[in-house]
């Protein structure tokens, strides 16, 4: 199935797609999205409506070329450790191989992060038998720095279970911090050279305001919720993420991938639908935001569609806010 992409339009309409992680591999733009499915179960804050079972890979030669759906590249039934809910994935290239990182619930219902490999960016991907030891929660994003060190940043509140890991162990009934306490940050760890394990413990990233104070948990316009992404621009590290309940994509800048990061502002205001999730990629010397909304399903929250828009920087390195619904 092929369709012509256009800025701010759904990239494909033959399937519902969300959580796009975009990369340039072999001179093409590859997009690794979640695959939203119909369901008649409960819709709740736990995300039970997001019952995804598999992944497709999309690609395009450039922004004027058709989008290719490379078909199903991994299904939950082929992942020994996973039981359900294949949420937002990411991909990386190293050692001549492609790696798909993905969260899913294990057989105890706890979200973990797994990895699968392929010789091609288009898959299919062969999963490892077990999840990555030391991984938990959702939304892995893998950043490979210029020195070739790879980092996995991850974590999401509520349905993503991040608040249940505050002690380093899974505590079923744990709740998030008080509104005036520092917000929970995403976790980050270094990946081994073979990309299959973590070589450090998951470290909590600190996000501070312009005065150096931690963003408090009650500051829902700025506090971390889910969907982290790290990219590098002019030697600085940019951590961008969703604020969840206030439905924004925002960003912070730091000097080290492990943090701390200083909050800067909004990249994308709320879109149609509850969730907002993104990636940022450079292609042919321009930068692009890949994101999703629910325009194709006319606002049905759990059925989303992937889109893109050009992203530009101000001379001081800050990002210009993108209007998701421009007039023309
Ligand atoms: O797609 C399922 C979940 O919704 C993702 O993991 C979150 O980032 C949110 O987009």
Instruction: Specify the pTM.
Output: 0.97
Question: Is residue 87 lining ligand 1, measured as CB closer than 6 Å?
Answer: yes
Q: How far apart are CA 103 and CA 278, in angstroms?
A: 16
95 Cβ contact list (under 8 Å, min separation 6): 193, 194, 195
Active site residue 19: yes
Marked catalytic residue, from 19, 69, 139, 293: 19
The HSE-up count of residue 49 (CA atoms within 13 Å, CB side) is 13
Question: Is residue 293 lining ligand 1, measured as CB closer than 6 Å?
Answer: no
Is the pLDDT assigned to residue 301 strictly greater than 90?
no
pLDDT (tens digit per residue) in 139-175: 999 999 999 999 999 999 999 999 999 999 999 999 9
305 Cβ contact list (under 8 Å, min separation 6): 10, 11, 12, 13, 16, 17, 18, 292, 293, 294, 295, 296, 297
For 151-176, the three-class secondary structure string (H helix, E strand, C coil) is EEEECCCHHHCHHHHCCCCCCCCCCC
Give the residue-averaged pLDDT of 86-98: 97
By the 10 Å C-beta count (0-12 exposed, 13-18 middle, 19+ buried), 38 is classed as exposed
Percent of the chain with pLDDT over 70: 98
Contact 275, 297 (CB under 8 A): no
Marked catalytic residue, from 48, 226, 316, 323: 226
Question: Is residue 243 lining ligand 1, measured as CB closer than 6 Å?
Answer: no
Active site residue 226: yes
**What length does the chain have?**
328
Question: Is residue 123 lining ligand 1, measured as CB closer than 6 Å?
Answer: no
């Amino acid at each position: 199935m092929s369709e012509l992409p256009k800025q701010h339009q759904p990239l494909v309409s033959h399937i519902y797609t969300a959580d796009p992680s975009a990369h340039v591999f072999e001179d093409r733009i590859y997009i690794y999205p979640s695959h939203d499915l119909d369901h008649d179960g409960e819709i709740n804050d736990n995300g039970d409506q997001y019952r995804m079972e598999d992944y497709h890979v999309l690609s395009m030669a450039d922004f004027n070329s058709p989008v290719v759906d490379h078909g199903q590249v991994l299904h939950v039934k082929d992942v020994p450790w996973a039981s359900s809910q294949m949420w937002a994935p990411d991909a990386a290239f190293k050692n001549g191989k492609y790696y798909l990182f993905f969260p899913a619930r294990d057989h105890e219902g706890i979200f973990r992060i797994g990895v699968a490999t392929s010789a091609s960016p288009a898959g299919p991907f062969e999963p490892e038998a077990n999840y990555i030891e030391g991984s938990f929660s959702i939304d892995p994003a893998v950043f490979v720095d210029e020195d070739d060190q790879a980092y996995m940043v991850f974590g999401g509140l509520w349905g993503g279970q991040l608040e249940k890991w505050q002690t380093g162990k899974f505590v079923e009934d744990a709740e998030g911090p008080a509104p005036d306490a520092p917000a929970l940050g995403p976790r980050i760890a270094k990946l081994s050279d073979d990309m299959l394990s973590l070589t450090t413990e998951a470290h909590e990233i600190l996000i501070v305001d312009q005065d150096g104070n931690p963003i408090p948990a009650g500051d829902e316009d700025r506090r971390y919720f889910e969907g982290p992404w790290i990219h590098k621009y002019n030697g600085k590290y940019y951590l961008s993420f969703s604020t969840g309940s206030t439905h924004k994509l925002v960003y912070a800048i730091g000097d080290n991938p492990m943090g701390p990061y200083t909050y800067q502002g909004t990249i994308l205001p709320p879109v149609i639908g509850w969730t907002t999730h993104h990636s940022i990629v450079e292609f042919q010397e321009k930068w692009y935001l890949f994101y999703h909304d629910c325009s194709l399903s006319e606002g049905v929250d759990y059925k989303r569609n992937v889109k893109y828009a050009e992203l530009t920087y101000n001379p001081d390195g800050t990002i210009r806010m993108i209007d998701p619904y421009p007039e023309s």
